[in-house]
Structure 1
């Protein structure tokens, strides 16, 4: 299918005409190893000069991944839960950090994830909690600042900028994958229209434009169509009114290693 970028280009032109700016960020989930797909992600990030917040599964992160991240400054490691293990019963949507276990077990895993990532990635780590499947109980969110987290990231526009004292919510807004269907690229024209509508909502005051606009990818399952669309979308946003947002590292936030 040929992509029609006209709706997005028209919206971006309005942003520029009105001298508006769009904070833009990128998150990619499920990293555990240095793979050929991660190399592709890294090359794209570097070619766009757009850092990617790499949500790494702490339990399974290996040394080669740490070495790869250390060599590439556009990769920002963040904490992707603990083991990406589904603790929900069969009749509920998958989750690792909803209230299906005692709270002390849940917070132990969240803390273990942060501590392992601090050990493996040191100063490069960003203290952001990314719950697997973008699902986390509000009660768990309240515990995150006390564990050492400064950001939490799920999906869809945030309801509040600070869901807990000392914690900032920075969500993702567009995922190009058709998870419930082909598991390839979703209809590109639908994705373009959706992006244009979300930007229109921000421009017209119906949505919070202080929240960075987040693109969510999953490098391990990308086919060429997904790579191409992601590159085209990010390139257009960067050529328009966008400026790059990146979360500060643990060192920059003053958190202990």
Structure 2
């Protein structure tokens, strides 16, 4: 047994056993950010998805080759393509958190950018249902635009709540970003996973999903090796299977089927 599998069993195994004893199993979903076109790293990601029958939501930047992405993703079991910003440009004023939409942007302009992004995906044969803002920064004006377009939202760190029924966040980032991108480390990652699982169990929030977050273009070898050990334990399912009726979202035409 690999070191990663031993650590997974030691760190989160007891918590998973508590869930099982209570008659529940945690639901994981998987989001991967920053795709623009097929690459060897994307091929590796999709191979992991196929190997472990793990669904992925691939957040793609509209200025990339979306048609080629659609073709590549159809080879994997169940992939959803989400819109990842407009151009993935940081337009935040100095001293503010990175983000693409800022206080000076008018709703009409954000709606125009959003409509153009949706059209890029539609021309590639996909009707997107999810928007992932770059840097997980959802400005209030962006949220208004998403609501008007009927798009769901995914950021980072929050549980689902009644105020935003269509929002589903990621919670477990395999990467650290400062001073440079690298694997977070198995123990650090698993301790956070254990804490989030225990919080949900203590609150009886059995139906609160946990979102795995990856960035295939930035992975080092340790990150890839950890995913090989973690995916068969997490068994990520498609976002569509986690949706609540309250979202009012008619179908998931952003989901691609193999074949």
Could you state the TM-score of these two structures normalised by the residue count of structure 2? Answer: 0.85
Do structure 1's residue 119 and structure 2's residue 123 form an aligned pair? yes
- SS of the aligned residue for 1:76 comes to strand
Describe the superposition over 1:69-112 as per-residue Cα deviations: whole angstroms up to 9, x where unpaired. 23334221111111111111232121013434222222211222
Cα separation, 1, equivalents of 2:162 and 2:179 = 32
**Corresponding residue for residue 226 of structure 1:** 223
Describe the superposition over 1:212-239 as per-residue Cα deviations: whole angstroms up to 9, x where unpaired. 210010001111110111222222223x
- SS of the aligned residue for 1:53 comes to strand
**Corresponding residue for residue 44 of structure 2:** 40
The alpha-carbon distance between structure 1 residues 61 and 212, as it changes in their structure 2 partners (threshold 3 A), is farther
Cα separation, 2, equivalents of 1:21 and 1:161 = 22
**Corresponding residue for residue 212 of structure 1:** 209
Q: 1:172 aligns with which of 170, 173, 180?
A: 170
Cα separation, 2, equivalents of 1:244 and 1:60 = 26
Describe the superposition over 1:150-199 as per-residue Cα deviations: whole angstroms up to 9, x where unpaired. x1100002362442xxx601000000111123411113211111101100
Q: What pairs with 1:1-257 in structure 2 (closer than 5 Å)?
A: 3=4, 4-5=7-8, 6-122=10-126, 125-149=127-151, 151-158=152-159, 160-163=161-164, 168-205=166-203, 208-238=205-235, 244-247=237-240, 252-253=251-252
Name stretches of at least 5 consecutive residues in structure 2 with no aligned partner: 244-248, 255-259
Offset at 1:39?
A: 0.3
The alpha-carbon distance between structure 1 residues 72 and 253, as it changes in their structure 2 partners (threshold 3 A), is closer
Task: Kindly indicate whether structure 1 or structure 2 has the higher relative contact order, using CA contacts under 8 Å at least 6 residues apart.
Answer: 2
Q: Contact (CA 8 Å) 1:114, 1:127: kept in 2 or not?
A: no
Could you state the TM-score of these two structures normalised by the residue count of structure 1? Answer: 0.85
Q: Contact (CA 8 Å) 1:177, 1:184: kept in 2 or not?
A: yes
Q: Contact (CA 8 Å) 2:118, 2:128: kept in 1 or not?
A: no
Q: Contact (CA 8 Å) 1:98, 1:135: kept in 2 or not?
A: no
Q: What CA RMSD, in Å, does the superposition of the two structures yield over aligned residues?
A: 2.4
Q: Contact (CA 8 Å) 2:60, 2:82: kept in 1 or not?
A: yes
Q: Contact (CA 8 Å) 1:162, 1:169: kept in 2 or not?
A: no
Q: List, as ranges, runs of 4+ consecutive aligned residues in structure 1 with deviation greater than 6 Å.
A: 248-251
Cα separation, 1, equivalents of 2:211 and 2:195 = 14
Q: Contact (CA 8 Å) 1:176, 1:226: kept in 2 or not?
A: yes
Offset at 1:47?
A: 0.9
